Amino acid sequence: MRIQGRSCLVLGGGGFLGTNLCRRLAAAGNRVRAFGHRRMFPDALTGVEWQQGDLADGAALTKAIESFEIVFHFVHSTTPYSANLDMIEDARRNVLPSIALLDMSHRLGVKRIVFLSSGGTIYGRPQQIPTDETAPTEPITAMAISKLAIEKYLALYEYLHGLEYRILRVANPFGPYQLPIKRQGVIAELISRAIANEAIDVWGDGSVIRDFIYVDDVVDAMEAAALDASKERIFNIGSGTGRSIREIITTIEKQTNSKFNIRWKNSRSVDIPVSILSIDRARKELKWTPRTSFELGIEKTISWWKNSASEIKQILHNQIQSSGIPPLPH
């Protein structure tokens, strides 16, 4: 399903998933506006309106929403790791502004909100693998508690005010426009290291299993969720297959003809040993299926890194200059 002839606001439109979605929507001729702190790749967003702003800035948000029909909500100020360091701030900066967003969307006549939730963390340590949408949600990171609360407010707003919504619990996405920052994006980090021939830190012993999904397939699911008329509201989006960090490393080494120098680090408490999502509901209700094999996804990602090498280098350099945070911590 493709979105056509609509107006779409993408909160967090300058980030990894946001950039990919905006490009797809703009290419199909939709009116697209991206809202967020910054665009990582401004040149990638030609034809997309840009509004810089913070989710917690009510006035900026109202201005951004304006008369847009579909709102994609991808903004979250923390990571699974950082959220646990200040849980109050995580809730204050993400949950409270999301409630305000719902209220504005309702008042301004938004047709539907598509919310990006976290398939990898919302279930906590899953009791059943693969994990479906009805599994208990027992997060071990405050970020996922905030995501869960926002999911519940979405349901409440539909119940009270008829505001439509869909939730995508996305596994571990990878692909073009993902940069290895904030200790996230292991595939992006591995590829960038492989290309630069640098050593890499890996938390745990490499046996951790994740459900990686190529970004184009995630964007397919976002479009399907925006148009979905089923009675379901929450959809897991993953490949349905688990891969260990060791497998990822092997695949990337093979495709880049390189050998990693790995420094093994102690595993972190927010790391769940195995996370694989059941995607039966999305297959059935959204008529969606992941179309890109893991190997092809890696190939496309490597090729993007190689073609964008100088641009990425400049972005990472600017990132360090502006934030003081080294994007590739050693």
Decide: is 156 part of the binding site for a copy of itself (CB under 8 A).
yes
Burial of 261 (0-12, 13-18, 19+ CB in 10 A): exposed
Q: Rounded CA gap, 239 and 211, in Å?
A: 6
Decide: is 60 part of the binding site for a copy of itself (CB under 8 A).
no
Collapsing DSSP to helix, strand or coil, 275 comes out as: coil
Pick from 15, 18, 139, 173 the residue near a copy of itself by CB under 8 A: 139
Q: What mask, x for binding a copy of itself by CB under 8 A, covers residues 263 to 302?
A: ------x---------------------------------
**Residues binding a copy of itself: what is the number (CB under 8 A)?**
28
Decide: is 145 part of the binding site for a copy of itself (CB under 8 A).
yes
Decide: is 134 part of the binding site for a copy of itself (CB under 8 A).
yes
Decide: is 141 part of the binding site for a copy of itself (CB under 8 A).
yes
Collapsing DSSP to helix, strand or coil, 294 comes out as: helix
Residue count of the chain: 330
Q: Which of the ranges 113-121, 136-144, 193-201, 221-229 carries the binding residues for a copy of itself, by CB under 8 A?
A: 136-144
Pick from 159, 229, 310, 322 the residue near a copy of itself by CB under 8 A: 159
Q: Which is nearer to a copy of itself, 67 or 269 (CB)?
A: 269
β-pair partners for 303: none
Q: Which of the ranges 14-22, 32-40, 145-153, 306-314 carries the binding residues for a copy of itself, by CB under 8 A?
A: 145-153
CB 87 within 8 Å of CB 142: yes
Which residues have a Cβ under 8 Å from the Cβ of 314 and sit 6 or more positions away? Answer: none
Pick from 1, 44, 100, 129 the residue near a copy of itself by CB under 8 A: 100
Which residues have a Cβ under 8 Å from the Cβ of 154 and sit 6 or more positions away? Answer: 102, 113, 115, 163, 165, 167, 233
Decide: is 136 part of the binding site for a copy of itself (CB under 8 A).
yes
Q: Which of the ranges 134-142, 214-222, 308-316, 318-326 carries the binding residues for a copy of itself, by CB under 8 A?
A: 134-142
DSSP symbol at 266: P
Q: Which is nearer to a copy of itself, 145 or 226 (CB)?
A: 145
Pick from 49, 51, 53, 92 the residue near a copy of itself by CB under 8 A: 92
CB of 84 to a copy of itself, least distance (A): 7
Decide: is 84 part of the binding site for a copy of itself (CB under 8 A).
yes
Which runs of consecutive H residues, i.e. helices, occur in the chain? 16-27, 58-65, 80-83, 87-90, 96-108, 142-161, 186-196, 215-227, 245-256, 280-285, 294-307, 309-323
Nearest of 124, 72, 69 to residue 98 by alpha carbon = 72
Q: Which of residues 208-267 bind a copy of itself (CB under 8 A)?
A: none
Pick from 70, 148, 226, 249 the residue near a copy of itself by CB under 8 A: 148
Residues that bind a copy of itself (CB under 8 A): 84, 87-88, 91-92, 95-96, 99-100, 103, 134, 136-142, 145, 148-149, 152-153, 155-156, 159-160, 269
